Amino acid sequence: MEELNRKTVSEFRESAKTPVIAILENVRSAYNVGSVLRTADAFLLEAVYTTGYTAHPPHKQIAKTALGADETVQSQHFVNAAEAIDAVKQRGYKVFAVEQARNSILLQELTVDKEEKVAVVFGNEVSGVEQATILLCDGCIEIPQLGMKHSLNIAVAAGVVLWELAKPFIAAGD
């Protein structure tokens, strides 16, 4: 790890974080949760919040895909997405659902000021983000897709969106 210039767990915890929180709403697969935690670790995100019946650490299947990120990334579980959204909005976060919806913002057209804090809601693998949750958000972000399926696995979608949100901070060396 030293040769790869990786942070220790304590260095990770002490590092300034990218002001992005991923909120997982009713994600069925604990493996997907572990993958999102691993992505959050890679980009030094503020936290991953789980809601509803989404599995949350400590959990054997999460640990299998998180590869230690379940020990580094701050996580918190909420009864439902509304509670998680309320918590982040009270801390000054803008909240976007990642969903194909009318008036959604295409990911490549989203502009986030470096001073803004952003939370993004990822929904269930089959049904997506619940409509009631979308109504609590400041908008929707849509990943452009050119193929036939027009859906991505949640872990893949999270990787794409979280990279775009973290990229300005990585480029600036923050």
Residue 16 carries which DSSP code? P
Q: In what order do the strands lie in the sheet with 105-106?
A: 75-78, 45-51, 18-25, 117-122, 93-98, 139-142, 105-106
- DSSP-assigned states of every residue in 46-75: EEEEEETT---SS-HHHHHHHTTHHHHS-E
59: domain CATH number is: 3.40.1280.10
Domain of residue 79: give its range. Answer: 9-171
User: Is residue 4 domain-resident?
Assistant: no
User: Is residue 145 domain-resident?
Assistant: yes
* Residue of 22, 165, 38 whose CA lies nearest to 107: 165
User: Is residue 143 domain-resident?
Assistant: yes
Is the pLDDT higher at 4 or at 40?
40
User: Is residue 3 domain-resident?
Assistant: no
Please give the mean pLDDT across all residues of the chain. 94
Q: Let me know: does 121 contact 98? Beta carbons within 8 Å.
A: yes
Report how far residue 157's alpha carbon sits from residue 108's, in angstroms, rounded to the nearest whole number: 14
User: Is residue 2 domain-resident?
Assistant: no
Total domains present in the chain: 1
> Which tens digits make up the pLDDT trace of 36-74?
999 999 999 999 999 999 999 999 999 999 999 999 999
User: Is residue 146 domain-resident?
Assistant: yes
User: Is residue 44 domain-resident?
Assistant: yes
Q: How confident is the model at residue 142 (pLDDT cuts 50, 70, 90)?
A: very high
User: Is residue 79 domain-resident?
Assistant: yes
pTM for the whole structure? 0.94
> Which tens digits make up the pLDDT trace of 143-174?
999 998 888 999 999 999 999 999 988 877 75
